[in-house]
Amino acid sequence: MSSTDYASEPGTPAPKPSNRTLWWVLGCAGATGLGLIVVGIVATIVVPNVYMRQQSKERIQAELHWIEAALKAHHAAHGVYPATLSELTEPGGVLAGQSVPTDPWHRPYVLERGDDPDRRPRILTLGRDGAPGGEGVDADTAW
């Protein structure tokens, strides 16, 4: 009989279980919990930003379409396009008593008129950064 064969020696106590297994299980559980916390934090940051970006695009497109309809109504009523968007809301304007919406970053939409007053003006937002050009949410959106 070997000296390590405790079960076969009568009166010899069973070996003390190792704590390594317990610590290994606790470590895995802790790492899993920490991983879930990190994934949760990343999800709470990324998901709303992606959702808001999509909502902003849809809002901009709807508002630009609405402003374009008002510009066409003004042109039909007065024979010319307005010089500014505020002309639409003045007394006698097609949006009298209303206000022209602002972009998702609370800046007014831009009305770009060319040299030809009979040509439909371009309506745009300069994006989140408020500067011409840009990419992603900083990109200009025009109608």
Identity of the residue numbered 100: V
Q: Where are the alpha helices (DSSP H) in 5-99?
A: 20-78
Note whether residue 11 is domain-resident.
no
Distances (CA, A) of 67 to 33, 56, 63, 110: 51, 16, 6, 11
3-15 tens-digit pLDDT: 555 555 677 776 6
Q: State how many domains the chain has.
A: 1
54 domain residue, yes or no: no
Within a domain: residue 43? Answer: no
pLDDT, tens digit, 9 for 90 and up, residues 63-115: 999 999 999 999 999 898 998 999 999 888 888 888 899 988 899 999 998 77
Domain range for 125 is 59-142
Give 28-75 pLDDT, tens digit per residue.
Answer: 877 787 778 888 887 777 776 666 666 778 888 899 999 999 999 999
Neighbouring C-alpha atoms within 13 Å toward the C-beta of 36: 6
